[in-house]
Structure 1
Amino acid sequence: MTYPDTPDTGSDLPMAGAGIVHIGIGAFHRAHQAVYTHDAMAAEAGDWHIIGVSLRSTEIVDALNAQGCGFSVIERHPDGPKARKITSMTHAVAAARDVAPVIAALADPAIRIVTITVTEKAYGIDRSGKVQHDHAAIKHDLENIDAPSGLVGILVAGLKRRKDAGLRPFTIVSCDNLPANGHLLRAGVIDFAQQIDPGLGQWIAEHVSFPSTMVDRITPAATAQTFADAKRLTGHDDPAAIETEPFSQWVIEDGFPDGRPAWDKAGAILVKDVEPYELMKLRMLNGSHSLIAYVGQLGGYRYVRDAMANDMFAKLVARHMENAAASMTPLPGIDFADYGAELVARFRNPEIAHETRQIAMDGTEKLPQRIFAPALQMLNAPEQLGTFALCFAAWLAVMRTRINGADSSEAAQTLNDPRAEDIVAALGDNQEAAAIYDRLAHLQDWMPEGLKESAVWREAVIARLSLLLLDGADHAIAQELAP
């Protein structure tokens, strides 16, 4: 693929070898880590190109390989879209077709880093860091370590191959929205490996680095408009084009014993401790996104920008950010009020078509860190608990609304959640707010005990759920903002 030589179009990088395997080459990776790596190699040359791995999809692999793995990133600026060409990927592999090339790449001594964006549910690791034996990929891979299909199994198979060959391990970098993602992944990988080979588990514990990260860039799913704009701006069809906002952030724990690209020269922030930044993003950005997603769907808003164009809705989101900020300790160099105002402006960007339904996926995976954890801290400040309770109430209402009138199999499909069957079974035919809350709040291993046992939290959620079910989203928002 060739691109016109314009200031808004990136240029091909010099030829160099691959040093990174990335697992999960969806839109977010192509808008984020692939861009940082492209810019890092443009600033400081090195063998850091990416071998892209798709665990499930074959279409994106074929689309990328057909055009040499260069692709368009369409940045949606308020004054119109701009295109960049990104060429940091050498080739792509579909693990679903054949996992052998993936394991071979991981065993290649030239590969020094493995980065990951596969969404929360693909890990198969519980909050304690243990692998989930009822997770389909974990179950399969424990029994088939030479032909794994899931993330953890593939990582362990690659590390096993390197240990057996006497090679240094690669560094593993999770870029998913999980609390302490590096620590969680480390615990899960070690737990899995010990069940395969205790010696391998010990070797991983002693030698493999798992830096934690915080990532941020709003990246909607590509649409026909994405591809039309890519062709208009570049002059070529690009089925791998993605769109995103101008803003991008990457905070990385600096723990790379075998080197890394010059990500810092591409704008990434390298720190000793990612957790405070991660907490800020999870609670203020991701928590607000969940609030917008669930209340927005109940209010008939398809896109975040549409909900945020409603002044009352925007005030609700700003209120939630204030409440989320109150749950955190101050962060040096960061003004939470300024960060919140920047988030509101990003959410209101009229050029970003981010669907509320897309954000709402996998709620049982996202709500614990985004809503439950800060709500637990705010139980003694009920005046700041309201927006957390409203978000959970809206999730409950969305679950109830989606499955009303559907049989159990249809209901489970429409929820788009890894615990859909549990949700459907728990809800049954219950229509009253208190019954809905009591059944879903008691899903096993989900809500923190301190929150589940709190009468203050229960009453706050049920009151808001009743409003949503009886009077709708607009009335519930007005009540939340009332003095």
Structure 2
Amino acid sequence: MSASTKRPKLKLNLLGNDGQRKCKEMMERPVKVLQIGEGNFLRGFADWMLHESARQGKFHGSVVVTQPRPGGKAKLEQIREQDGLYTMITRGLSQGEPVERAEMISIFARCLNPYEEWQEFLELAELPSLEFVISNTTESGLKYVPSEYTPGEPVLSYPGKLTVFLHRRYERFAGDPSRGLIHLPCELLEGNGDVLRDCVLRHSEDFGFSEDFRTWVKECNRFLNNLVDRIVTGAPSREEADLLTDRWGYEDQLINTAEPYHLWAIQGEEALDKRLPLKQAGLNVHWVKDLKPFQLRKVRILNGAHTLMSSLGILHGVEHVREAMEDPRIGPWIKETVHQDIVPALNMPEQNLDEYAEEVFERFLNPYIHHKLQDIALNMVGKFKVRVLPTLLSYEKNQGVWPARLIRGFAAMLLLYRAVPTPDGYQGQRLNGEPVALRDDPGALASFASHWEGYDALGSDRKQQLNLRVGALLSDPELWGENLNERDGLREAIVEEMLLLEGVKA
């Protein structure tokens, strides 16, 4: 019998008197945050931060959590069944030292299902204490979907629900400018605050709300752009959960796990930290005028390194990020590429890029995270175009030479993408000839297959063949946004690296 079937489920009454008192005190504070999103990420990111700030006596509020889509009902019910309590496990490496700690999170005052408790949801808009709306509805949830609004019935989309919610608040407080809210969308979209505001304004027209209301939305509400970064791995394995259940004496259906690293950059003035005191609590939160430097360093360093290691790692038969970092052929190459090719191309000394890079490497080595290179390689062509190619071109423009390490990454991707159509989709191959599935845009894969068709990897004229095929691939503006074959010396540099990767003397 599983341990979880022999233990009671986590509830407030299972805690000791002191534990109950502390949790109740947090839960009974005024509601300051409406949270749209019941999933692992917000519970392991924003809620954990709010709890930490509250624990330190800095944040004097609580959270009402709702789900953004009907399918979230089951998770919301689990939160409700556990009186809003769950255990947050942080584990990994921090400054080279192993970290593992568990905390009881008790920041939720209420759970509301807006699809079944629509009026109760709208009544939250009338709370004078409410100040913030935090959301994570995935990228697909933060977009405009034409909708109709029937009073008394919930709107399906998050922006649509928020529009009605804000209209209720506008009417309740007669357009009082001081009753606008601060919106912090955590969806992984550039300009996510701007996107949300524009969706609300469009819905307000669809729903027939007044121009005065739209003016209040624009002038009295703050839709701040956000960049969030933390790997939240969610529930542990069933076996580990059973061990924890035995250790704690109760079953927690909502155990959440995350790495120690966390970053929340918010495009707003630092004075706002007085209202949402996360930085004051010692958390890695930045109130900034411009998010672009934070976005750029993440895309070019963290995401760029991921994309580079995935192609080279898969070619060599490596399966996971940590394995790649520990591989003597790949790990040192990744570190050198970041420090010597990517960081100089960014030219952002104020961002402490080398220090950030070391944090990234530490995250890659987290023994509790098993990130598959095959998953990172999904849609690699588009990712390479955004994450790596701009760095490659910038380096050559500034230094006058092609960076050998980045060229090796480009060569590895082109070798991996020797696409061959099969009944099950397109396949590439590792350096040892083993086939590997390619998951990418069908048009891009068809282009690669066409350019590689007839290539004889064993032919004596291999270098000549590679020159022709790499030249054709680089000439395809549909793949790269321009004709890269017109860049002096690029094709030749890539071909030399491809021959070296294949063990052929150039």
**TM class by smaller structure:** 0.7 to 0.9
Q: 2:245 aligns with which of 204, 222, 231?
A: 231
1:34-433 pair list within 5 angstroms:
34-44=47-57, 46-55=59-68, 56-77=71-92, 79=98, 81-94=100-113, 101-106=120-125, 108-124=127-143, 131=144, 138-139=145-146, 141=147, 147-165=154-172, 166=174, 168-194=179-205, 196=207, 199=211, 200-224=213-237, 227-228=241-242, 230-231=244-245, 234-255=248-269, 260-266=275-281, 267-275=283-291, 276-293=293-310, 296=313, 299-322=316-339, 323-332=341-350, 334-356=351-373, 359=376, 370-371=387-388, 374=391, 377-378=394-395, 380=397, 383-384=402-403, 387=406, 390=409, 394=413, 404-406=422-424, 423-424=441-442, 427-428=445-446, 431-433=449-451
C-alpha change, 1:60 and 1:328, in structure 2 (3 Å) is same
Aligned residues: 441
- Structure 2 gaps of 5+ residues are 1-9, 17-21, 427-436, 454-471
The structure-2 alpha-carbon separation of the partners of 1:122 and 1:364, relative to structure 1 and needing over 3 Å to count, comes to farther
Greater mean deviation of Cα atoms: 52-61 or 377-386: 377-386
> Does structure 2 retain, via aligned residues, the 8 Å contact 1:190–1:202?
no
Describe the shift of the 1:4–1:109 C-alpha distance in structure 2 as closer, same or farther (beyond 3 A).
closer
* Cα contact 2:50–2:59 (8 A) shared by 1: no
Report sequence identity in percent.
18
In structure 1, the partner of 2:36 is 23
Q: CA RMSD in A?
A: 4.6
Whichever residue aligns with residue 455 of structure 1, its letter is: N
Q: State the AA in 2 paired with 1:234.
A: W
Equivalents in 1 of 2:150, 2:385: separation in Å?
32
**Aligned partner letter, 2:254:** A
Q: Is the 8 A contact 2:63 2:109 kept in 1?
A: yes
Preserved contact between residue 74 and residue 226 of structure 1 (Cα < 8 Å) = no
> How far off its partner does 1:20 sit?
0.8
What amino acid is the match of 2:278? W
C-alpha displacement of 1:424: 3.1
Instruction: Please name the residue that 1:135 is paired with.
Output: none
Relative to structure 1, the CA distance from residue 349 to residue 427 in structure 2 (aligned partners, 3 Å threshold; closer, same or farther) is closer
Tell me, yes or no, if the aligned pair for 1:379 and 1:457 is still in contact at 8 Å: no
Distance 2:116 2:491 in 1: 46
**C-alpha distance in 2 between matches for 1:66 and 1:457:** 62
Q: Report deviation, 1:245.
A: 1.4
Matches within 5 A, 1:462-473: none
Deviates more, 1:271-280 or 1:100-109: 100-109
In 2, Cα distance between equivalents of 1:377 and 1:461: 17
User: Which residue matches 1:442?
Assistant: 478
8 Å contact 1:226–1:243 — kept in the other structure? no
CA-CA distance at 1:174 after TM superposition? 2.0
Letter in structure 2 aligned against 1:328: L
Alignment correspondent of 2:485: 455
1:37 Cα deviation after fit: 0.2
User: Aligned partner of 1:330: which letter?
Assistant: M
CA distance in 2, matches of 1:236, 1:398: 50
Matched residues in 1 for 2:51 and 2:214: separation? 34
Contact 1:389 1:457 in 2 (8 A): no
- CA shift in 2, pair 1:437/1:82, >3 Å: farther
Pair 1:38–1:292, CA change in 2 (3 A): farther
C-alpha separation between the residues in 1 aligned to 2:253 and 2:155?
29
Aligned pair in 2 of structure 1 residues 341, 151: CA closer, same or farther (>3 Å)? same
Query: Aligned-pair distance for 1:33?
Result: 0.8
2:342 corresponds to which letter in structure 1? A
* d(CA) in 1 for partners of 2:343, 2:438: 30
CA distance in 1, matches of 2:411, 2:206: 37
Amino acid at match of 1:71: Y
Q: 1:176 to 1:192 in 2, by over 3 A?
A: same
For the residues of structure 2 that align with 1:284 and 1:398, how far apart are their CA atoms?
23
CA distance in 2, matches of 1:4, 1:388: 58
What's the CA shift string for 1:184-203, capped at 9, x where partnerless? 44444445545555724443
Say which is worse superposed, 205-214 or 377-386, in terms of deviation. Answer: 377-386
Q: TM-score, normalised by structure 1?
A: 0.73
The one-letter amino acid paired with 2:256 is: I
Question: C-alpha separation between the residues in 2 aligned to 1:93 and 1:466?
Answer: 60
Report the alpha carbon displacement of residue 263 of structure 1 after superposing the two structures with TM.
1.1
Greater radius of gyration (CA): 2
Contact 2:410 2:494 in 1 (8 A): no
Structure 1: how far apart are the matches of 2:15 and 2:73?
A: 29
* 2: CA distance, partners of 1:118 / 1:176: 6
2:467: which partner in 1? none
68 and 458 in structure 1: CA distance in 2 versus 1, 3 angstrom threshold: farther
Q: How much has 1:358 moved relative to structure 2?
A: 5.3
